[in-house]
Amino acid sequence: GNSVTQMEGPVTLSEEAFLTINCTYTATGYPSLFWYVQYPGEGLQLLLKATKADDKGSNKGFEATYRKETTSFHLEKGSVQVSDSAVYFCALRGGSNYKLTFGKGTLLTVNP
Amino acid sequence: NAGVTQTPKFQVLKTGQSMTLQCAQDMNHNSMYWYRQDPGMGLRLIYYSASEGTTDKGEVPNGYNVSRLNKREFSLRLESAAPSQTSVYFCASSEVTRGNTEAFFGQGTRLTVV
């Protein structure tokens, strides 16, 4: 079956630091890949997505590239802000599968 | 736009009580989902409905039932609540005409079973 493995947190950074959150996946076929963000007390919001190999998703300064050869979709941001403090989830949907499969989430705390 | 609306936002139940979590979406999506979120476990799929009139089990269906009342509404019922069902529950919807479309989530229901 499909599965997503993302780096365990928590991750604590200072403002303006570089962020990487690793995500690797197992899936048959050609899944679509997503990063969701959950701010405290809220539901999940889509941060970015990529639907085929070598696609780069980007939003709000965050980027992730769909690497089929390494089955990875790592999230990066060049300079984090305090407002980026949240839980980040990597997820995939495989082909015609209706279900989204999530990683366990990574808590990011950014200190001023 | 309301998107996905869940009620209630908070609930405390005693062991053995029953309740229904309500979910409605106004985006005309075919597919709807119920997830639970627990510390260190991420989001786990309880049940989903690929389209109106169909429901299927996810990873953790035991102790739950669902009803897809119509295209807009998808409810989750706990018949006899247990402390292990203490969790945050999220409803989501998506349009899966293509496999690459994302899901939209409600704000969550924080349920405590004592």
DSSP annotation string for A34-100: EEEEE-TTS-EEEEEEE-STT-EEEETTEEEE-BTTTTB--EEESS--GGG-EEEEEEEE-TT----
Beta strand pairing call for B10-13 and B64-68: unpaired
- List, in sequence order, every residue forming a beta bridge with A56; answer none if it has no partner: A65
pLDDT score, position B33: 95
User: Could you report the per-residue pLDDT of A1-54, keeping only the tens digit for each?
Assistant: 889 999 888 999 999 999 999 999 998 878 899 999 999 888 999 999 998 899
What does the pLDDT average to over B24-50?
92
Given an 8 Å threshold on Cβ–Cβ distance, is B41 in contact with A97?
no
Interface of B with A in 35-74 (CB under 8 A): 35, 40-45, 48, 50, 58
User: Could you report the per-residue pLDDT of B69-106, keeping only the tens digit for each?
Assistant: 899 999 999 999 999 999 999 999 998 766 567 899 99
Taking contacts as CB-CB distances below 8 angstroms, the residues of chain B near A100 are 33, 45, 92, 94, 103
Of residues A93, A96, A89, the one with CA closest to residue A43: A89
pLDDT score, position B114: 97
Q: What percent of chain B has pLDDT over 90?
A: 81
